Chains A and B, each alone.
Chain A
Amino acid sequence: NAGVTQTPKFRVLKTGQSMTLLCAQDMNHEYMYWYRQDPGMGLRLIHYSVGEGTTAKGEVPDGYNVSRLKKQNFLLGLESAAPSQTSVYFCASSYLGKVYEQYFGPGTRLTVT
């Protein structure tokens, strides 16, 4: 049982490049989330999904897109990376009705130069 895994762990992008972060969970969780963590700002919700094929915007969705084609995977896309997107990205998942008990992945450290 791997829990929540994220790929890649580190990435450096140039401004304007695109990339996709992959989150996978093997706990059969219905809910999945993408957060970014910045110093002094805590975790801010980017997008979330309450089930396969559904996504919704969180607190800071601009510049990101997401897809949840399979229940176990939640992809976060950056179409045209900007230095302001330099951050640590965390994926999380939780059971239906237990949104508070989120299981977090190890994070992806992204630097945009």
Chain B
Amino acid sequence: AQSVSQHNHHVILSEAASLELGCNYSYGGTVNLFWYVQYPGQHLQLLLKYFSGDPLVKGIKGFEAEFIKSKFSFNLRKPSVQWSDTAEYFCAVNARNDYKLSFGAGTTVTVRA
């Protein structure tokens, strides 16, 4: 079974700072990788996804993530955060041909105005 670890539990930033959230997974086979976001009081929603091809994927709201296969990592980045990026971010992994997603523990990001 696959597992996902997120490096940071809580990150506090000022507006315009750069953000990078780490995500590592353990699984020997082919995987699909995702970042989900949960804004305060809202549902989880898909931020971006990686299946194959270009390892640098772009998502909504200026977020991007890079898949480094040799490091089993899928880190999320944003060059300049806004107060509205305050949310909880979850990395998730899906083994190909599996019905399930495995989520990391989540990282709470607080952006101070």
Interface residues of A (CB under 8 A from B): 4, 31, 33, 35, 40-45, 48, 50, 56, 58-59, 90, 92, 99-107
Check A42 against B90 for contact (C-beta < 8 Å). Answer: yes
Given A40-B9, A42-B90, are A99 and B101 also a contact pair (CB < 8 Å)?
yes
Query: Which of B42-50, B63-71, B72-80 lies at the binding interface?
Result: B42-50
Q: With both chains docked as a complex, state the minimum distance between the C-beta of A13 and any C-beta of chain B, in angstroms.
A: 23
Check A45 against B100 for contact (C-beta < 8 Å). Answer: yes
List 25 contacting pairs A-B, 8 Å CB cutoff, sorted by A.
A31-B99, A33-B100, A40-B9, A40-B105, A42-B4, A42-B6, A42-B103, A43-B44, A43-B90, A43-B103, A43-B106, A45-B100, A45-B102, A58-B100, A59-B102, A90-B44, A92-B44, A99-B98, A100-B49, A100-B92, A100-B94, A100-B101, A101-B49, A102-B46, A104-B44
Instruction: Name A48's contact: one of B43, B99, B106 (CB within 8 Å).
Output: B99
Given A100-B34, A104-B43, are A50 and B49 also a contact pair (CB < 8 Å)?
no
A84–B73 Cα distance when bound, in Å, is 32
Check B101 against A102 for contact (C-beta < 8 Å). Answer: yes
Check A100 against B32 for contact (C-beta < 8 Å). Answer: yes
Q: Which residues on the A side are within 8 Å of B32 (C-beta)?
A: 100
Check A101 against B46 for contact (C-beta < 8 Å). Answer: yes
A31–B105 Cα distance when bound, in Å, is 23
Check B104 against A99 for contact (C-beta < 8 Å). Answer: no
Q: With both chains docked as a complex, state the minimum distance between the C-beta of B34 and any C-beta of chain A, in angstroms.
A: 6
Q: Which residues on the B side are within 8 Å of A4 (C-beta)?
A: 43
Given A100-B49, A101-B46, A105-B43, are A48 and B100 also a contact pair (CB < 8 Å)?
yes
Check A50 against B99 for contact (C-beta < 8 Å). Answer: yes
A4–B92 Cα distance when bound, in Å, is 20
A42–B103 Cα distance when bound, in Å, is 6
A92–B98 Cα distance when bound, in Å, is 16
> Closest B-chain residue to A49, C-beta based?
B99
A107–B99 Cα distance when bound, in Å, is 21
A110–B26 Cα distance when bound, in Å, is 31
